[in-house]
Amino acid sequence: MIVRLKASFAIHTDESPVRLLQPRRTAYAWLYLGDAANPYTLFDFTPGRGEEYPAAFLSGYAGFVHADGYAGYNPIHGSGSRHLGCWAHVRRKFVEARTNNAAKASEALAYIRTLYAVEQEIRDEKLTGDAVVSRRQTRAGPILRKLGAWLDAEQRTALPKSPFGQAVSYALNLWPTLGRYLNDARFTIDNNVAERTVRPLAIGRKNWLFVGGDGGLTSASVLMSLCASAKRHTLDPWAYLTDVLTQLTAKPADVTHLLPDAWAKQHLPASH
């Protein structure tokens, strides 16, 4: 599944903390979402949040990566992949900045709201392919240029350490990555799909509380990846894992038919 994931044109990624039971410290679950042609949802549980973990997991990948501005993703982009920024994160910064400079923050939010309105038009009209690119470039492109000029002007007078100043700097630091979504219909305006996918971990933390320890990180990665990928194909994870684990006892030479998307085509009654 990792090999197939790396064949994706674009990958969405995010990370979330989890607690280790032995020793008691914080580990991290990194999420990687393949594209429609490589429909796998993979988790990599690691003992820390360092940049070495996504760099190792996506080693050799040279496609696009949807991610927020966390510096831990920088080595991925530096090794050949291209960063697609997240407008939802930029928006949150300006929402927080309303406590400091409501008028200016609201002005930024109005620009961002217009960008999202263009995306809603695209969905409502069911545009695809080149029509999406054309609509984005003709409607959202001018808005981005105006917003970029506005941010440049505001940065000259904003207090650097104020919430508003930090929001402006955050957007400008990511600016080269925030306009790339205009150029391909397969790109999205934000990374919300990854955030929605990783959110169930928060529920999981309340239920199972811990990952057993360093030795359990690999097991957690495998099981979470299989279950999440099965759910992505609307499969019953229990039915899928029961059948797959049973077949694996025979040590088949080829296991591609056991991948969630291939298995789903063979067992449609198990999907719902």
The pLDDT of residue 76: 85
Instruction: Scan for tokens 């759910």, then name that residue.
Output: 231
pTM score of the predicted model: 0.91
DSSP state of 61: -
Say which amino acid occupies 47: P
Question: What tokens appear for 228 in the block?
Answer: 């999440």
Checking if the pLDDT of 1 tops 60, the result is yes
State how far the alpha carbon of 4 is from the alpha carbons of 32, 119, 163, 191, 260, in Å. 12, 29, 41, 20, 12
Task: State residue 94 phi and psi, 5-degree precision.
Answer: -75, -30
Other beta carbons less than 10 A from residue 218's beta carbon: 11
Question: What tokens appear for 159 in the block?
Answer: 């207090």
What value does the mean pLDDT take over residues 199-214? 74
Question: Confidence band (pLDDT; 50, 70, 90) for 118?
Answer: very high
Tens digits of per-residue pLDDT, 215-265?
A: 788 888 999 999 999 999 999 999 999 999 999 999 988 999 999 999 999
Could you write out the DSSP letters of every residue in 161-173? TSHHHHHHHHHHH
Question: Confidence band (pLDDT; 50, 70, 90) for 211?
Answer: confident
The pLDDT of residue 267: 85
The pLDDT of residue 269: 61
Lowest mean pLDDT among 17-21, 57-61, 88-92, 256-260: 17-21
Q: In this structure, are residues 187 and 180 in contact, taking their beta carbons and an 8 Å threshold?
A: yes
Question: What angle, rounded to 10 degrees, do the helices at 87-97 and 163-173 form?
Answer: 160
Question: What tokens appear for 58 in the block?
Answer: 């996506």
The CA R_g of the chain, rounded to the nearest whole Å, is 21
The pLDDT of residue 21: 77
Tens digits of per-residue pLDDT, 129-186?
A: 999 999 999 999 999 999 999 999 999 999 999 999 999 999 999 999 999 999 999 9
Picking from 58, 31, 28, the residue whose alpha carbon sits closest to that of residue 45 is 28
